[in-house]
A and B are shown apart, each in its own frame.
Chain A
Amino acid sequence: MNSTQFDTTKPVLEIKNLHKSFGDLHVLKGFNLKLYEGENLVLMGKSGSGKSVLIKCMVGLLEPDEGSVEILGKNIEGLSRKEMDVLRTNIGFLFQGSALYDSMTVRENLEFPLRRHLKTQDLKDTDDLVLEALTNVGLAESIDLMPEELSGGMQRRIALARALILKPKIILYDEPTTGLDPITSKEIIELMSNIQKKYKTSSLIITHDVDCARVVSNRMILILDGVNYIEGTFKELQVSDDPKVKAFFK
C-alpha cells in the first residue's frame, strides 16, 4: 500500500489553521492537513490529542472556533443544511464503536442512507447495492440479522459496508481496529486496503495501531497537543530519532 501513487495536485480535503476549544481546554491549536485524491493518510496521536475532535469538525458534527475545512473544493462553513447533507454523501464515516442503528436489521442499516439519497427511479436497485456492499465485507449472509446478534468484528465490517454504500470519494476511519482482537484487526485492515484498491477512495485513518498504519498508510501525520508535530511516510517516521515519535513505534 505504501508504494501506491496518488495525485498531490488534487487535495480532496484541506484543513487550514483549525482551532477548537471546550471552555478553557484548547484541543486544536492551529492544525493543518491536506488529503489528496487516492491517498491513505494516517493520523496518529496520544489519547486526548484532539484526533476525534478533528474528525468531527471535518464532517460538521462540531463547529471549529477558527480556521477552515474544505471538502472537495467546498468550504463547509456557511453551507446550508441541505448543501452539507449533499456533501456528506461523498464522505463515508466509520465510527470507533461502529454506531449501527440497533433498532434496525443489517439490511435496514444499509438501506437507511440509500433511501434518503437515491432518486426514486434508482430505489429499485437498493437490494443489489445492499448485497454488493455486504459481499465486499464478506457478510452477505448476515443481511437479516440485528446488530446485537453480530460480534464486534462483524459489526465493524457492517459499519464499513454502510459507510461505503453511497460510494463516497472520501472515507474517514475513527480508530477502525480499536477494541478488536489481533486477528479481526488484521481482517479489517485487509478490508480497508482492498476497498481503497477497488474504489480508489481517499482515506483519513485515525489510529493508535502501528500495524494498521504500516499496512494502509501512504503518509502519516503525528498530532501532538493539537498541532501537527511531524509528517512523513511510515518508514521515515519509524526511523526517526525524535523521542516523541519513537514512543509511538515502540
Chain B
Amino acid sequence: MNASFSFLNNIKSFFTEIGDLSSFAGRYFREVVTPPFEFKELLKQCYNMGNKSLLLVSVTGFILGLVFTLQSRPTLLEFGAVAWMPSMISISIVREIGPVIIALICAGRIGSGIGAELGSMRVTEQIDAMEVSGTNPFKFLVVTRILAATLMLPLLIFVGDFIALIGSAIIENIKGSVSFQLYFNQAFDALEFSDILPATLKSFFFGFAIGLVGCFKGYYSKKGTAGVGRASNSAVVFTSMLLFIIDFIAVFISDIFY
C-alpha cells in the first residue's frame, strides 16, 4: 500500500515538474523577444559554453570515431562490405550517434554547470540582489543561457561529428590502407540533405533542452548547499531523459517526411 502510494506521489510530482518546466519555457519565449536584450552577456555565455566545451567534445568525437570503426570493421569484413565503411560511419554519426552522444556530454558539462551556477547564485542571494538593483534576473541569467546553449549545441555537434570522421578515417587508413581523400570522398558522397537537415534541427532542440532544464533546476534551487548539488545533479538526469524523448520524436517526424 505504502509502495503504491509513494509511486503515485512520484508520478504526481513528475507531472507537476513538467507543468512548472512548461511554464518556465513559456516565460522564456515571452522574455526572449522583449527588450532590453543582453547581447554582451549572450556573447559571454556563447564563449563559455562553446570554447570551454570544445576540447571535451573533440576528444569524445575522436574516440567515438575510433571505437565505432574498430567495432564495425570485423562484421563488415565478414560480409565483404568493408568498402561501405565510410558511408556507414558518416551516416550513423551525422544522423544519430554524433548528435546524441555529444548532446549527452554537453548535458553533463553545460547543463550541470548552469544548474550549479544559478543554484549557488540563488543560495547566496545574488539573484535577489540583481532583482532589487532593478535588473530582470530572468532575462540576464536565464534567457542568455538558454539562447547560448541553443545556438552553440549545433556548432559543437558539427565539430564533434567532423572529428569523429577524422578518427574513423585514421583507423581505416591504418587497418584498411584507405587514403584520407578516398575516405572523405566516400563519407561525404553518402550524406544527403535528408541526413543533415533533421540532425541539425534536432541539435537546436537538444541545446534548448540542456539550457532550459539547467536554468530551471538552478533558478528554483532550494536553499543550502545540498540544494545546489541537487539542482546540478537533477539537471543532468532530467536533461538526459529529455534528450532521448526529443530524439525519438525527431526520428519519428523525419521518418514521416523522408
Chain A, 195-233, contact with B by CB distance < 8 Å: what is the 0/1 string? Answer: 000000000000000000000000000000000000000
- Would you call B134 and A95 a contact (CB within 8 A)? no
A196, B99: Cα distance in complex, Å: 59
Q: With an 8 A cutoff between CB atoms, is A113 at the interface? A: yes
Residues of A within 8 A of B125 (CB): 95-97, 99
Q: Smallest CB-CB separation from A113: which chain B residue?
A: B133
Residues of B within 8 A of A81 (CB): 136
Residues of B within 8 A of A99 (CB): 124-126, 128-129
A139, B136: Cα distance in complex, Å: 28
A-B contact count (CB 8 A): 52
Please tell me the number of chain A residues within 8 Å of chain B, measured between CB atoms: 24
Residues of A within 8 A of B126 (CB): 99-102
- Would you call A97 and B124 a contact (CB within 8 A)? yes
**Residue among A85, A86, A93 making CB contact with B129, cutoff 8 Å:** A93
Residues of B within 8 A of A239 (CB): none
Please tell me the number of chain B residues within 8 Å of chain A, measured between CB atoms: 14
Q: With an 8 A cutoff between CB atoms, is B174 at the interface? A: no
Interface residues of A in 91-113 (CB under 8 A from B): 91, 93, 95-97, 99-103, 112-113
- Would you call B135 and A59 a contact (CB within 8 A)? no
- Would you call B133 and A116 a contact (CB within 8 A)? yes
- Would you call A95 and B135 a contact (CB within 8 A)? no
A96, B125: Cα distance in complex, Å: 9
CB distance from A10 to the nearest CB of B (A): 23
Residues of A within 8 A of B133 (CB): 88, 93, 112-113, 116, 162
Residues of A within 8 A of B117 (CB): 103
Q: With an 8 A cutoff between CB atoms, is B132 at the interface? A: yes
Interface residues of B in 130-157 (CB under 8 A from A): 130-136
Residues of A within 8 A of B132 (CB): 59, 61, 88, 91, 93
Q: Smallest CB-CB separation from B125: which chain A residue?
A: A99
- Would you call B134 and A88 a contact (CB within 8 A)? yes
Q: With an 8 A cutoff between CB atoms, is A185 at the interface? A: no
Q: Smallest CB-CB separation from B128: which chain A residue?
A: A61
A162, B136: Cα distance in complex, Å: 17
- Would you call B124 and A89 a contact (CB within 8 A)? no
CB distance from A151 to the nearest CB of B (A): 16
Residues of A within 8 A of B134 (CB): 85-86, 88-89, 113, 116-117
A81, B34: Cα distance in complex, Å: 13
A60, B117: Cα distance in complex, Å: 24
A117, B135: Cα distance in complex, Å: 9
Residue from B124, B129, B136 having most chain A Cβ neighbours under 10 A:
B129
A91, B126: Cα distance in complex, Å: 16
A89, B135: Cα distance in complex, Å: 10
CB distance from B7 to the nearest CB of A (A): 25
CB distance from A23 to the nearest CB of B (A): 15
Residues of B within 8 A of A116 (CB): 133-135
Residues of A within 8 A of B136 (CB): 81, 85
Residues of B within 8 A of A61 (CB): 128, 131-132
A91, B131: Cα distance in complex, Å: 12
A-B contacts, 11 of them at CB < 8 A, read: A59-B132, A60-B131, A81-B136, A85-B134, A95-B129, A99-B124, A100-B129, A101-B130, A102-B126, A112-B135, A113-B133
* Given contact pairs A88-B132, A100-B129, A113-B135, a sample of 14 additional A-B residue pairs in the complex whose CB atoms are under 8 Å apart: A56-B128, A60-B131, A61-B132, A89-B134, A91-B132, A95-B129, A97-B125, A99-B125, A101-B121, A101-B129, A101-B130, A102-B126, A113-B134, A116-B135
Query: Which 10 A/B pairs are nearest by Cβ-Cβ distance?
Result: A85-B134, A99-B129, A99-B125, A113-B133, A88-B134, A93-B132, A59-B132, A95-B125, A99-B126, A116-B135
Query: Which chain A residues have a beta carbon within 8 Å of chain B's beta carbons?
Result: 56, 59-61, 81, 85-86, 88-89, 91, 93, 95-97, 99-103, 112-113, 116-117, 162
